[in-house]
Amino acid sequence: MAVCILLQSTILNRVAVRGVRPDLALIVLIFVSMRRGPMVGQVSGFATGFLEDLMNVSPLGFHSLLRTVIGYVYGLLSGNVFIDPFLMPIILTVIATILKGILAGIVSAVFGLAASGFITFTGRLWIEVGYNGVIAPFLFALLNLFKMFKQADKEGA
Q: How far apart are CA 57 and CA 25, in angstroms?
A: 18
Using CB under 8 A, which of 31, 72, 74, 140 touches other proteins?
Answer: 72
CA distance linking residue 32 with residue 26, whole number of Å: 10
Report the distance separating Cα 99 and Cα 73, nearest Å. Answer: 10
**DSSP readout, 61-72?**
THHHHHHHHHHH
Closest separation in Å from C-beta 34 to other proteins: 16
Stretch touching other proteins by CB under 8 A, among 27-35, 79-87, 121-129, 134-142: 121-129
Q: Does 130 bind other proteins (CB under 8 A)?
A: no
Segment near other proteins (CB under 8 A); pick from 88-96, 115-123, 137-145, 149-157: 115-123
**Region for residue 138 given its phi and psi (left: phi exceeds 0; alpha: psi -120 to 50; beta: otherwise):** alpha
Residues in the site for other proteins, rule: CB under 8 A?
A: 5-11, 13, 16, 19-21, 23, 25, 38-39, 42-43, 46, 49, 51-65, 68-69, 72, 104, 107, 111-119, 122-125, 128
